[in-house]
Amino acid sequence: MSLQENSAGRQVPTEINGREAIPYMGVGGRKMDGHKAAPLIRSAADYPDSGDKRVDNLKAALVNAGLRDGMVISTHHHFRNGDLIANQIFDIAKELGVKDLVWFPSASFPCHEHLIQYLEDGTIHHIEGSMNGPLGAFCTAGKMRGMGVLRSHGGRWQAISDGDMHIDIAVIAAPTADAFGNATGDRGPSACGLLGFALADSLYADHVIAVTDNLVPFPCLPWQIQGNNVDQVVEVEQVGIPEKIVSGTTQITKSPDRLLIAEHCAKFVRDTGIMRDGFSFQAGAGGTALSFAIYLKEMMIQAGVTAGFVRGGSNKYLVEMLEEGLTPVILDGQTFDLDGVRSMRENAGHQNTSPFTSYNFHGKGNFASMLDVVILGATEVDTDFNANVVTHTDGRLLHGIGGWQNCLASKCTILAVPSFRNRIPVILDEVTTLCGPGELIDVIATERGLCINPRRTDLLEASKGSSVPILEIHDLKREVERICGGAPQRAKTTDELVAAIQWVDGTTIDCVRGLS
């Protein structure tokens, strides 16, 4: 495997898992032409006229789909840690003696630790998708045969639609579906809101299996997955564990320091005039981001300001803003709690979206670049405003990229991070793993104050007179090192590449090395 230095100065491979890999060429640096990938031609004549595509069980469906060695199998993560289907697919593959599969999820969760045995016994060759928790640790230890490939939500759509990743079989767990394969996420015992992360899979995979525990008479209304893209429908006892689907991500933080970060962000958005009639924002699912939305809501009420639209991750706080008239629309990419699910069913202004509409770089625009402000997290940032979201300073792979890279396209990107965590500095000279280039990151918001990217002279000017402390990032780094007792030692890594980090255009921005 040969390495090449990309335009961010990182050594990256020119081949990943047997495919040619293009090193990162800078923001907007890669120009593409030609056609996108296309799905197979299928004929209605080959499907039942009755529209009833049901088969007995998932195993029969996988056999019908021609499951064999080396295939790429995709699943979505709308059920988060309550997913019951992904593990079953590989249990069946193991039973059938199929080897070397590639799992291509839109994200993995701790419940997928079950799959480590299949990585070990050869059923699964490698995973291309966010790897959290135990799977991340497994990968960083260099135990996975292929390289992990981490993509943003938009980058996953790009990889599928450009043909970088070809899906052989997509299994789409659906909270409600009909026998034709129309499916929705907003109702049923395992309701998860929407199914946007499975949309590309349904359009581009060679074979699509819908799995549901709530089969309704045709037509399933509304539908986000169209039955015309679905080959087979399987009815099962249970697709997900409801209480784990809408899990604890929507707890507001009680940490006074994190509340302070959230308050700083909201005041900054107010004082710089970003908060004005018709503005838009997106805040993620973490405790700090949720608290930001709550502070901002209060400030909007005080100032009599209403938003033009907000982007979710929806939760009860965004739903309150919608139902109290503070925003006419939620453009929702994934639903984090039951209030979000209910609102999606009941409110016309609560619109389901997909990575195509919100994030895909190889489209004719997307929603992320239209956002006035977005609040994100990070594991590390450096004094050039570059940021890391997948590994910690010790080099362990612990988080996925999610929509993070895609959101950097917004007009003002704020990374809300503590300046250190339990003696571990977050502000460094150089990030361990580069996930987002500093030129797209405008503000680092910490409990000690905000650092504004010197490129954003407009924001520096607009923040004058704000009560939020504005700091120079090198000063903040010095202060953090004074508290923590110097700069931390760097991770001791091997030469082995264990995972690649893809940029939104399909190029490789960095990679993760094994730990020694």
Partner 1 sequence: MSTSQELPSESWSGSAGARGPKVRSDCWVGLELAESGGLELELVSTVESYYGDGIRSLLRTGCEALGLVNVKLRVEDGGAYPWVMMARLEAAARDAGIAGEDWLPEVDAVATTTTSRDRFRRSRLYLPGNEPKYMINAALHGPDAIILDLEDSVAPSAKAAARLIVRNALRQVDFGVAERMVRINQGELGLGDLEFIAEHGCHLVLIPKVEDPEEVRAVDRRLSELTDAPVLLMPIIESAKGVINAHSIAEASERTVALTIGLEDYTADLGVQRTRDGRESLFARQTVINAARAAGLQAIDTVHSDVSDPEGLRAAVMEARGLGFEGKGCIHPRQIPIVHEAFLPSEAEVSKACKIVLAFRDAEARGLGVVSLGSKMIDPPVVKRALKTVEQAVQGGILIESWESEEGSA
Contact residues for partner 1, defined by CB under 8 A? 256-257, 259-260, 393-395, 422-424, 447-448, 467, 482-486, 488-489, 491-492
Cβ nearer to partner 1, comparing 474 with 492: 492
Cβ nearer to partner 1, comparing 113 with 257: 257
Q: What share of the chain is helix, strand, coil (3-state, %, to 5)?
A: 30, 25, 45
For residues 247 and 208, the answer to whether their CB atoms sit within 8 Å is no
Report, in Å, the least distance between residue 419 CB and partner 1. 9
Cβ nearer to partner 1, comparing 3 with 424: 424
Burial class from Cβ neighbours inside 10 Å (0-12, 13-18, 19+) for residue 166 reads middle
Report, in Å, the least distance between residue 509 CB and partner 1. 24
Report, in Å, the least distance between residue 422 CB and partner 1. 4
Cβ nearer to partner 1, comparing 50 with 467: 467
Cβ nearer to partner 1, comparing 363 with 514: 514
Segment holding 381, helix H or strand E: strand 380-382
Helix axes 287-303 and 316-323, enclosed angle (nearest 10): 20
3-state secondary structure of 169: strand
For residues 393 and 429, the answer to whether their CB atoms sit within 8 Å is no
Q: Which of 170, 160, 162, 48 minimizes the C-alpha distance to 103? A: 170
Give the HSE-up count for residue 495: Cα atoms under 13 Å, Cβ half-sphere.
Answer: 3
Report, in Å, the least distance between residue 33 CB and partner 1. 45
Rounded to an integer, what distance in angstroms lies between the CA atom of residue 174 and that of residue 199? 12
Rounded to an integer, what distance in angstroms lies between the CA atom of residue 438 and that of residue 170? 36
Beta pairing partners, 337 = none
Report, in Å, the least distance between residue 447 CB and partner 1. 6
3-state secondary structure of 108: coil
Residue 398 is which amino acid?
L
Cβ nearer to partner 1, comparing 81 with 419: 419
Query: H helices within 256-331, ranges in order?
Result: 256-271, 287-303, 316-323
Cβ nearer to partner 1, comparing 28 with 256: 256
For residues 75 and 240, the answer to whether their CB atoms sit within 8 Å is no
Cβ nearer to partner 1, comparing 18 with 256: 256
Report, in Å, the least distance between residue 25 CB and partner 1. 33
Report, in Å, the least distance between residue 468 CB and partner 1. 12
Rounded to an integer, what distance in angstroms lies between the CA atom of residue 171 and that of residue 256? 43
Rounded to an integer, what distance in angstroms lies between the CA atom of residue 242 and that of residue 400? 22
Cβ nearer to partner 1, comparing 325 with 465: 465
Rounded to an integer, what distance in angstroms lies between the CA atom of residue 452 and that of residue 462? 11
User: How is residue 319 written in tokens?
Assistant: 């739903």
Report, in Å, the least distance between residue 464 CB and partner 1. 15
For residues 442 and 414, the answer to whether their CB atoms sit within 8 Å is yes
Report, in Å, the least distance between residue 148 CB and partner 1. 21
Cβ nearer to partner 1, comparing 256 with 304: 256
Report, in Å, the least distance between residue 302 CB and partner 1. 14
